[in-house]
């Protein structure tokens, strides 16, 4: 049985910081490829054969590719799939600007250090410890996804196909906040593209003859976001808004993206009806809605709860509690969990501030979480 003494928090943190130094926002495919170039030899050193999948186009931009590592195991053993992502929401330049890597006591800050480079390094460290101790003999597949932060539109099919070959899926996305809570279910998510088409005019001369696409989009933003209920759902978030080109021209076109979440199927259907109900003409401005990527609803099943109970018992043996719940942040666990495959998510490190300039991990969580992850894998391969 792997002991906490097999891990060194400072060594783990040093490796995490090396990952964080490679900024890799989703829509900058070249930076994601550099991240995969950095990760690939680490998987090869674990005895994995590597597959690199070509990046695909999404919303007019070429994304990074996908990295898959496969490590064979003994015949008859149940396969384990580990899914992580290399992409981040932080643009290039965040490190040199609002969120440099810095240490403040137990907290270490940096872009994507919490979501999810810290958890990925922790999981790989745990697996390396098992390999070094000759305690990993089950078939293992590791997927490093390039587009999780935008809904995994180009990687979903492969993730689902690989999950169907395995009995268990482990996802080292961040633990929830400072409680260390793991994820046994996730709300359903759908993305929408909104477009308004107005009528041109000179803003100062013949503006009364124009119809502003931006003005109607502003109305739609308020209407949608006012329907949000953070306690029971649904939630609506509208952003990435672009409209007009010259301030002295009445804007003819405005575009926006909406991310909507629901904790149950009925609410998810309600979201679809709400967005589709916007289609039409308002004040001579035409409104179009296009449905985008979906993360299906994942609610805990028997297999997932069996995984959780094992992890909870292991955590108890290590001296800490391990709460669980269904959470609002989407992940690739939505796909595998919705397929009915035993999936345990949120196995990554503790911290807070995901997607903000206060993003950080708790260094003190590295060794306990790595030990739990390693012991869970060790136990799962025994059946």
Sign of the four-CA dihedral 206, 211, 215, 217 = negative
Average pLDDT (281-297) is 97
In this prediction, residue 233 carries a pLDDT of 86
Q: What's the CA gap between 239 and 316, in Å, rounded?
A: 42
Q: For position 205, what pLDDT does the model report? A: 75
Burial degree of 286 (CB within 10 A; 0-12, 13-18, 19+): middle
* Exposure string for 60-77, b = 16+ CB within 10 A, e = fewer: eeebbbbbbbbbebeeeb
Name the percent of the chain lying above pLDDT 70: 99
Q: How many CB atoms lie within 10 A of CB 105?
A: 8
Q: Do domains 4-187+297-380 and 188-294 have the same CATH topology?
A: no
Superfamily of domain 4-187+297-380: Zn peptidases (3.40.630.10)
Tokens of 334: 């939505």
| Amino acid 59: pLDDT | 87
Q: Which of 72-76, 129-133, 152-156 has the lowest mean pLDDT?
A: 72-76
User: pLDDT-based confidence at 210, cuts 50/70/90?
Assistant: very high
Q: Is the pLDDT of residue 81 over 80?
A: yes
- Tell me the domain boundaries of the chain: 4-187+297-380, 188-294
Tell me how many helices (H) and strands (E) the chain has. 9, 19
Judged against a pLDDT cut of 90, whether residue 117 lies above it is answered with yes
d(CA 359, CA 53): 30
What tens digit of pLDDT does each residue of 166-197 get?
999 999 999 997 899 999 999 999 999 999 99
Section 313-317 average pLDDT: 98
For Cα atoms 60, 146, 306, give the angle at the middle one, nearest 5 degrees.
135
> Strand pairing of 168-170 and 342-344?
parallel
Q: Which pLDDT value is given to residue 206?
A: 66
Of the pLDDT bands very low, low, confident and very high (cuts 50, 70, 90), residue 207 is low
- 214-259: per-residue pLDDT in tens? 999 999 999 999 999 998 889 999 999 999 999 999 999 999 999 9
**Residue 383 scores a pLDDT above 80:** no
Sign, Cα dihedral of 119, 120, 123, 128: negative
Mean pLDDT for all residues in the chain: 96
CATH number of 188-294, picked from 1.10.10.10, 3.30.70.360, 3.50.50.60, 3.40.50.720 = 3.30.70.360
The per-residue pLDDT for 49 is: 98
Residue 360's beta-bridge partner residues? 109, 352
- Residue 22's pLDDT band (cuts 50, 70, 90): very high
Q: In what order do the strands lie in the sheet with 107-109?
A: 102-104, 107-109, 360-362, 351-352
Given CA atoms 303, 309, 314, 320 in this order, what sign does their dihedral have? positive
Neighbours of 378 (CB within 10 A): 19
Beta bridge partners of 53: 66
Q: What is the dihedral of CA 89, 94, 100, 106, to 10 degrees?
A: -20
Per DSSP (E only), the strands in the chain are 49-53, 57-58, 61-62, 66-71, 80-85, 102-104, 107-109, 140-145, 168-170, 182-186, 188-197, 235-243, 253-262, 280-282, 285-295, 324-327, 342-344, 351-352, 360-362
- 237: number of Cβ within 10 Å: 13
On whether the pTM is more than 0.85, the answer is yes
């Amino acid at each position: 049985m792997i002991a906490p003494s097999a891990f060194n928090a400072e060594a783990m943190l040093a490796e995490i910081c090396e990952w964080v130094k490679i900024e890799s926002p989703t829509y900058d495919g070249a930076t994601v490829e550099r991240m995969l170039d950095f990760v690939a030899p680490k998987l090869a050193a674990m005895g994995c054969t590597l597959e690199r999948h070509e990046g695909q186009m999404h919303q007019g931009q070429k994304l990074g590719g996908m990295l898959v590592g496969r490590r064979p195991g003994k015949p008859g053993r149940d396969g384990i799939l580990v899914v992580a992502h290399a992409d981040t929401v932080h643009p290039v330049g965040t490190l040199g600007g609002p969120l440099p890597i810095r240490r403040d006591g137990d907290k270490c800050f940096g872009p994507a250090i919490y979501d999810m480079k810290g958890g990925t390094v922790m999981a790989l460290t745990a697996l390396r410890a098992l390999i070094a101790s000759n305690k990993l003999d089950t078939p293992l597949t590791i997927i490093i996804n390039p587009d999780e932060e935008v809904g995994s539109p180009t990687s979903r099919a492969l993730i689902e196909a690989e999950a169907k070959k395995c009995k268990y899926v482990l996802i080292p996305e961040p633990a929830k906040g400072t409680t260390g809570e793991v994820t046994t279910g996730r709300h359903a998510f759908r993305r929408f593209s909104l477009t308004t088409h107005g009528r041109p005019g000179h803003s100062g001369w013949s503006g009364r003859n124009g119809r502003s696409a931006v003005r109607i989009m502003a109305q739609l933003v308020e209407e949608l976001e006012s329907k949000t209920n953070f306690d029971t759902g649904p939630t609506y978030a509208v952003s990435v808004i672009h409209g007009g080109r010259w301030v002295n021209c009445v804007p003819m076109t405005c575009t926006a993206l909406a991310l909507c979440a629901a904790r149950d199927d009925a609410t998810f259907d309600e979201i679809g009806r709400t967005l589709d109900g916007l289609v039409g003409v308002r004040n001579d401005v035409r409104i179009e809605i296009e449905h985008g990527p979906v993360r299906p609803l994942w609610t805990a099943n028997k297999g997932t709860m069996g995984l959780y109970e094992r992890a909870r018992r292991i955590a108890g043996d290590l001296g800490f509690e391990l709460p669980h719940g269904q959470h609002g942040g989407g992940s690739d666990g939505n796909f595998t969990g919705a397929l009915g495959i035993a999936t345990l998510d949120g196995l990554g490190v503790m911290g807070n501030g995901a997607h903000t300039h206060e993003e950080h991990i708790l260094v003190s969580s590295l060794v306990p979480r790595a030990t739990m992850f390693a012991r869970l894998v060790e136990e799962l391969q025994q059946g």
